Amino acid sequence: MNKAFVRESDGDDEDEDLAPALRLPQGTRNYISPSGFARLKAELDDLIKRERPKVVEVVSWAASNGDRSENGDYLYGKKRLREIDRRIRFLTKRLDIAQVVDPSRQENVEQVFFGATVQVCDETGGEATYTIVGVDEADVTRGRISWISPLARALLKAREGDVVRFQSPAGLREIEIVEIRYEVWD
């Protein structure tokens, strides 16, 4: 079928295309650390000021070469432009609903809130440390879990010495909070 007759997405369903871990609950703010906000803003600026103009230049040059149906530079460039524009829309939406939370300014350091670094001990005696971060900052390999994850939701508002239960992929688990601290991280 000719591409002229295929309807492309208008971008309204972008959140549906995201992995479940990146989807924000309906109507919530996008809680994010100052460094996470700066990273997203820098990526958006780079796409708008550097990447997109370069691709537009290539597409314009390729279009001037004549037949576009078999022009690889033109076809790839148009596809890349759609990807860039989609990412720009996504970042713009995320930054518009962003609520920057600085963990170093947390006053109630007795409880777990966004930005807390929490050391826990499970029923087998194994210890782990997690930092509760924004959806766009989560990185399990670095111990950073999203504030909407089941573990983070169970930890929120708990205190040192509390035992919390949460549903993990392996089943129901219990962990004890050993230490809570708020520190600046990047």
Q: Buried b vs exposed e over 58-92: b needs ≥16 C-beta within 10 Å?
A: bbeebeeeeeeeebeebeebbebbeebeebbebbe
pLDDT at 66: 76
pLDDT at 91: 95
pLDDT at 10: 47
In the three-class reduction of DSSP (H, G, I as helix; E, B as strand; rest coil), residue 104 is classed as: helix
What residue spans of the chain are helical by DSSP H? 14-17, 34-46, 52-63, 72-96, 150-155
On whether the pTM is more than 0.85, the answer is no
Q: Which domains occur in the chain, in start order?
A: 29-100 (1.10.287.180), 103-182 (3.10.50.30)
163: number of CA atoms within 13 Å, CB side?
5
pLDDT at 24: 76
In the three-class reduction of DSSP (H, G, I as helix; E, B as strand; rest coil), residue 177 is classed as: strand
d(CA 118, CA 69): 56
pLDDT at 67: 74
pLDDT at 73: 85
Contact 139, 125 (CB under 8 A): no
In degrees and rounded to multiples of 5, residue 39 shows phi and psi of -65, -45
User: Chunked in runs of 10, what are the mean pLDDT values of the chain (186 residues)?
Assistant: 49 56 74 93 97 93 80 88 96 93 87 94 90 92 92 94 90 92 79
pLDDT at 16: 54
Contact 71, 134 (CB under 8 A): no
Structure tokens at 23: 């989807």
